[in-house]
């Protein structure tokens, strides 16, 4: 029966020591531990969330970057095409211009040549005329060395003039 009756001494010490234990542990022990563990749990959860967001953002950035690269590539192709077209155009233009210029030059050269030719012909004619006059002079002189011949000549010429007068 003594087992079922609480002993006053033990009751006293139990109240004292358990009271102390409860006081210390409920004030400085368990709340600290539980709070820290929960804080850490929240911290980990938050960190995971942030990491997930960062990952998503990175993926998005990656996709964006790829899109930009794609666009740049397309742009490049376009620019290259344009450049080719412009180059062809420029070359054609230049060709045409050069041809035109060439024609013009040729035309002018032809004109010049014509003028030169005419000049040359005129010169030749003049020289031929002078030469023929000189030759005629010499021939006449040869023929008119003698007096009668001279007289003949003069007569003939006079005749001729007369004939033409009459």
Partner 1 sequence: MRRLKKILLVLVLLITVCGLNAYANEPAANKEPKEEEFNVREFILEHISDSYVWHLTKIGDHEISIPLPVIVYSQLSGWHVFMATEIMEGETKDGLFIATEGKYKGKIVEADSLGNETRPFDISITKNVFALLFSSLLLILIIMGVARSYKKKPMESKKGFVGFMEMFIMNINDDVIKPCVGKDYKKYAPYLLTVFFFVFINNTLGLVPIFPGGANLTGNIAITFVLALLTFLIVNISGSKEYWREILWPDVPLWLKAPVPLMPVIEIVGIFSKSFALMIRLFANMLAGHSIVLGLTALIFVTVKMGPVMNTSMTVVSFVFSIFIGFVEILVAYIQAYIFTMLSAVFIGLARVEPHHKKEIEETKHS
List 33, 90, 115, 153, residue binding partner 1 (CB under 8 A): 33
Whether 115 and 109 have beta carbons less than 8 Å apart is answered as no
Stretch that binds partner 1, among 1-9, 48-56, 106-114, 126-134 (CB under 8 A): 1-9
**What is the Cβ-side half-sphere exposure of residue 91, based on CA atoms within 13 angstroms?**
6
Stretch that binds partner 1, among 18-26, 77-85, 133-141, 152-160 (CB under 8 A): 18-26
Of the two residues 17 and 81, which places its CB atom closer to partner 1 in the complex?
Answer: 17
Residue 112 binding partner 1, by CB under 8 A: no
Residue 49 binding partner 1, by CB under 8 A: no
Cα separation values, 15 from 11, 76, 88, 136, Å = 6, 87, 105, 172
CB of 27 to partner 1, least distance (A): 8
CA distance 108 to 102: 10
Of the two residues 44 and 80, which places its CB atom closer to partner 1 in the complex?
Answer: 44
Question: What's the token pair of residue 123?
Answer: 């010169």
Whether 150 and 144 have beta carbons less than 8 Å apart is answered as yes
Neighbours of 36 (CB within 10 A): 10
Of the two residues 45 and 119, which places its CB atom closer to partner 1 in the complex?
Answer: 45
Stretch that binds partner 1, among 11-19, 68-76, 111-119, 121-129 (CB under 8 A): 11-19
List 20, 71, 112, 127, residue binding partner 1 (CB under 8 A): 20
CA distance 113 to 126: 20
Question: What's the token pair of residue 41?
Answer: 């749990």
Question: Would you tell me which residues interact with partner 1 (CB under 8 A)?
Answer: 2-15, 17-18, 20-22, 24-34, 36-37, 39-40, 43
């Amino acid at each position: 029966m003594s087992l079922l009756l609480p002993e006053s001494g033990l009751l006293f010490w139990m109240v004292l020591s358990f009271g102390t234990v409860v006081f210390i542990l409920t004030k400085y022990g368990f709340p600290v531990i539980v709070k820290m563990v929960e804080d850490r749990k929240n911290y980990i959860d938050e960190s995971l969330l942030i990491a997930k967001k960062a990952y998503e953002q990175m993926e998005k950035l990656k996709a964006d970057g790829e899109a930009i690269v794609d666009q740049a590539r397309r742009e490049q192709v376009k620019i290259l095409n344009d450049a080719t077209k412009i180059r062809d155009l420029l070359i054609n233009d230049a060709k045409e211009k050069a041809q035109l210029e060439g024609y013009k030059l040729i035309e002018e050269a032809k004109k010049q040549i014509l003028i030169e030719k005419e000049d040359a012909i005129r010169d030749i004619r003049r020289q031929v005329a002078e030469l023929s006059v000189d030759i005629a002079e010499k021939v006449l002189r040869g023929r008119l060395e003698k007096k009668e011949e001279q007289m003949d000549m003069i007569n003939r010429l006079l005749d001729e003039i007369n004939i033409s007068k009459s």
